[in-house]
Structure 1
Amino acid sequence: MAPTSPITKDTVRAQVAEVLDEPEAVIGDHDDLLYRGIDSIRLMSLVEWCRQRGAEVSFVDLAEVPTVAAWTEVLSQATQDVRGITA
Protein backbone atom coordinates (compact mmCIF):
# COMPACT_ATOMS: atom_id res chain seq x y z
CA MET A 1 0.00 0.00 0.00
CA ALA A 2 1.35 3.45 -0.90
CA PRO A 3 1.89 5.99 1.85
CA THR A 4 -0.96 8.46 2.27
CA SER A 5 1.18 11.17 3.84
CA PRO A 6 4.79 11.58 4.94
CA ILE A 7 5.64 10.09 8.29
CA THR A 8 7.43 12.70 10.38
CA LYS A 9 8.09 13.21 14.07
CA ASP A 10 5.13 15.56 14.12
CA THR A 11 2.74 13.04 12.55
CA VAL A 12 3.96 10.27 14.87
CA ARG A 13 3.64 12.56 17.90
CA ALA A 14 0.14 13.63 16.80
CA GLN A 15 -1.00 10.02 16.49
CA VAL A 16 0.53 9.07 19.85
CA ALA A 17 -1.16 12.09 21.45
CA GLU A 18 -4.49 11.03 19.97
CA VAL A 19 -4.13 7.46 21.21
CA LEU A 20 -3.12 8.66 24.69
CA ASP A 21 -5.67 11.51 24.70
CA GLU A 22 -2.93 13.97 25.65
CA PRO A 23 -1.73 17.24 24.12
CA GLU A 24 1.04 16.81 21.56
CA ALA A 25 3.17 19.39 23.37
CA VAL A 26 3.66 17.14 26.41
CA ILE A 27 5.09 14.21 24.43
CA GLY A 28 8.85 14.50 23.99
CA ASP A 29 10.89 12.92 21.22
CA HIS A 30 12.62 10.57 23.66
CA ASP A 31 9.87 9.91 26.20
CA ASP A 32 9.31 6.22 26.93
CA LEU A 33 5.85 5.79 25.44
CA LEU A 34 5.19 2.57 27.32
CA TYR A 35 5.77 4.48 30.55
CA ARG A 36 3.44 7.23 29.29
CA GLY A 37 0.62 4.71 28.86
CA ILE A 38 0.94 2.97 25.49
CA ASP A 39 -0.33 -0.54 26.21
CA SER A 40 -0.59 -3.47 23.82
CA ILE A 41 -4.03 -2.47 22.52
CA ARG A 42 -2.92 1.09 21.81
CA LEU A 43 0.30 -0.16 20.26
CA MET A 44 -1.63 -2.40 17.87
CA SER A 45 -3.75 0.61 16.94
CA LEU A 46 -0.56 2.50 16.11
CA VAL A 47 0.78 -0.42 14.07
CA GLU A 48 -2.43 -0.35 12.02
CA TRP A 49 -2.10 3.43 11.55
CA CYS A 50 1.48 2.88 10.30
CA ARG A 51 0.43 0.16 7.88
CA GLN A 52 -2.30 2.39 6.46
CA ARG A 53 0.47 4.83 5.60
CA GLY A 54 2.55 2.25 3.81
CA ALA A 55 4.99 1.39 6.60
CA GLU A 56 5.12 -2.38 7.02
CA VAL A 57 6.02 -2.63 10.70
CA SER A 58 5.18 -5.08 13.43
CA PHE A 59 4.20 -4.79 17.05
CA VAL A 60 7.74 -5.82 18.01
CA ASP A 61 9.30 -3.17 15.74
CA LEU A 62 7.59 -0.46 17.76
CA ALA A 63 7.71 -2.12 21.19
CA GLU A 64 11.52 -2.51 21.08
CA VAL A 65 12.21 1.25 21.15
CA PRO A 66 9.06 3.07 22.28
CA THR A 67 9.90 6.72 21.58
CA VAL A 68 8.66 9.19 18.99
CA ALA A 69 12.21 9.64 17.66
CA ALA A 70 12.85 5.90 17.29
CA TRP A 71 9.45 5.21 15.76
CA THR A 72 9.96 7.99 13.24
CA GLU A 73 13.23 6.37 12.16
CA VAL A 74 11.72 2.87 12.01
CA LEU A 75 8.68 4.09 10.07
CA SER A 76 10.75 6.17 7.69
CA GLN A 77 12.93 3.16 6.91
CA ALA A 78 9.92 0.84 6.55
CA THR A 79 8.27 3.29 4.15
CA GLN A 80 11.45 3.57 2.08
CA ASP A 81 11.75 -0.22 1.97
CA VAL A 82 8.19 -0.54 0.65
CA ARG A 83 8.80 2.17 -1.96
CA GLY A 84 11.97 0.41 -3.06
CA ILE A 85 10.12 -2.87 -3.55
CA THR A 86 7.24 -1.33 -5.48
CA ALA A 87 9.30 1.14 -7.51
Structure 2
Amino acid sequence: MPEGDAGNHSVCAIVTEAFLNYSLTRGNDLITPNPMYQFEGLKPGDKWCLCAIRWREALYMEVAPKIDLEATNEAALSIIGLETLTEYSHKN
Protein backbone atom coordinates (compact mmCIF):
# COMPACT_ATOMS: atom_id res chain seq x y z
CA MET A 1 0.00 0.00 0.00
CA PRO A 2 1.43 3.41 -0.95
CA GLU A 3 2.59 5.62 1.90
CA GLY A 4 -0.27 7.65 3.36
CA ASP A 5 -2.95 5.25 2.08
CA ALA A 6 -4.36 3.83 5.29
CA GLY A 7 -7.99 3.40 4.25
CA ASN A 8 -10.29 0.46 4.89
CA HIS A 9 -9.59 -1.45 1.62
CA SER A 10 -12.33 -3.99 2.21
CA VAL A 11 -14.66 -3.79 -0.81
CA CYS A 12 -13.74 -6.13 -3.65
CA ALA A 13 -15.06 -4.17 -6.62
CA ILE A 14 -15.36 -5.13 -10.26
CA VAL A 15 -14.29 -1.81 -11.66
CA THR A 16 -16.07 -0.04 -14.48
CA GLU A 17 -14.96 2.73 -16.81
CA ALA A 18 -17.33 5.12 -15.03
CA PHE A 19 -15.82 4.30 -11.63
CA LEU A 20 -12.23 4.51 -12.89
CA ASN A 21 -12.91 7.94 -14.40
CA TYR A 22 -14.63 9.09 -11.21
CA SER A 23 -11.70 7.88 -9.12
CA LEU A 24 -9.34 9.79 -11.39
CA THR A 25 -11.31 13.02 -10.77
CA ARG A 26 -10.88 12.38 -7.03
CA GLY A 27 -7.10 12.20 -7.38
CA ASN A 28 -6.78 8.41 -7.40
CA ASP A 29 -5.48 7.31 -10.80
CA LEU A 30 -6.14 3.59 -11.02
CA ILE A 31 -5.80 3.55 -14.81
CA THR A 32 -2.20 4.57 -15.44
CA PRO A 33 0.47 1.92 -14.85
CA ASN A 34 2.90 2.74 -12.03
CA PRO A 35 5.97 0.49 -12.29
CA MET A 36 7.35 1.88 -9.01
CA TYR A 37 4.60 -0.06 -7.20
CA GLN A 38 4.46 -2.92 -9.74
CA PHE A 39 1.00 -1.65 -10.66
CA GLU A 40 -0.12 -2.39 -14.23
CA GLY A 41 -3.18 -0.13 -14.16
CA LEU A 42 -6.78 -1.27 -14.09
CA LYS A 43 -9.27 -1.72 -16.88
CA PRO A 44 -13.04 -2.28 -16.73
CA GLY A 45 -13.83 -5.76 -15.43
CA ASP A 46 -10.76 -6.00 -13.20
CA LYS A 47 -11.25 -6.73 -9.50
CA TRP A 48 -9.66 -4.34 -7.03
CA CYS A 49 -10.04 -3.84 -3.28
CA LEU A 50 -11.38 -0.35 -2.72
CA CYS A 51 -11.61 1.77 0.39
CA ALA A 52 -15.13 1.37 1.71
CA ILE A 53 -15.47 5.15 2.02
CA ARG A 54 -14.47 5.67 -1.64
CA TRP A 55 -16.94 3.01 -2.78
CA ARG A 56 -19.68 4.71 -0.72
CA GLU A 57 -18.76 8.06 -2.30
CA ALA A 58 -19.11 6.46 -5.73
CA LEU A 59 -22.50 5.10 -4.68
CA TYR A 60 -23.70 8.63 -3.89
CA MET A 61 -22.33 9.79 -7.25
CA GLU A 62 -24.14 6.90 -9.01
CA VAL A 63 -20.93 5.30 -10.33
CA ALA A 64 -20.44 2.54 -7.73
CA PRO A 65 -19.21 -0.64 -9.37
CA LYS A 66 -20.62 -4.07 -8.65
CA ILE A 67 -18.78 -6.01 -5.97
CA ASP A 68 -17.64 -9.54 -5.35
CA LEU A 69 -19.43 -10.02 -2.05
CA GLU A 70 -17.65 -13.28 -1.24
CA ALA A 71 -14.26 -11.53 -1.57
CA THR A 72 -15.35 -8.41 0.34
CA ASN A 73 -14.04 -8.21 3.89
CA GLU A 74 -16.58 -7.88 6.70
CA ALA A 75 -14.75 -4.68 7.74
CA ALA A 76 -16.75 -2.99 4.96
CA LEU A 77 -19.81 -3.34 7.19
CA SER A 78 -18.46 -0.58 9.42
CA ILE A 79 -19.06 1.83 6.50
CA ILE A 80 -21.66 0.19 4.24
CA GLY A 81 -24.78 -1.72 5.22
CA LEU A 82 -25.15 -5.39 4.31
CA GLU A 83 -28.32 -4.67 2.33
CA THR A 84 -26.43 -2.23 0.09
CA LEU A 85 -23.48 -4.58 -0.33
CA THR A 86 -25.86 -7.40 -1.26
CA GLU A 87 -27.71 -5.17 -3.72
CA TYR A 88 -24.45 -4.38 -5.51
CA SER A 89 -23.23 -7.97 -5.57
CA HIS A 90 -22.29 -8.99 -9.10
CA LYS A 91 -24.54 -12.02 -8.63
CA ASN A 92 -27.64 -9.79 -8.45
Identify, as 1 or 2, the structure richer in strand: 2
Report TM bin, short chain.
Answer: 0.3 to 0.5
TM-score normalised over the length of structure 2: 0.32
